[in-house]
Amino acid sequence: MQIVSMVLCGFVLDAILGDPPTWPHPVKLMGKLIAILTKVLNRPTYTHGLKKCFGLIIWIIVVGGSFAAVLLIFWAISLITFVPVQAVSAIQFIVGAYLCYTCLSIKGLAVESHKIMASLNAGDLDKARYQVGMIVGRDTQSLSADQICKATIETMG
pLDDT tens digits for 1-56? 788 999 999 999 999 998 887 887 788 888 889 989 998 888 888 899 999 999 99
User: Looking at residue 107, what is its pLDDT?
Assistant: 87
pLDDT of amino acid 27: 80
Distances (CA, A) of 102 to 14, 30, 133: 8, 12, 20
- pTM of the entire structure? 0.72
d(CA 91, CA 139): 41
pLDDT tens column, 110-138: 888 999 999 999 999 999 999 998 888 77
Q: What H or E segment, with its residue span, contains residue 90?
A: helix 85-103
> What is the identity of the amino acid at 44?
P
Pick from 21, 20, 27, 1: nearest CA to 99: 27
Burial classification of residue 119, based on how many CB atoms lie within 10 Å of its CB (0-12 exposed, 13-18 middle, 19 or more buried)? buried
Gap between the Cα atoms of 90 and 59, Å rounded: 32
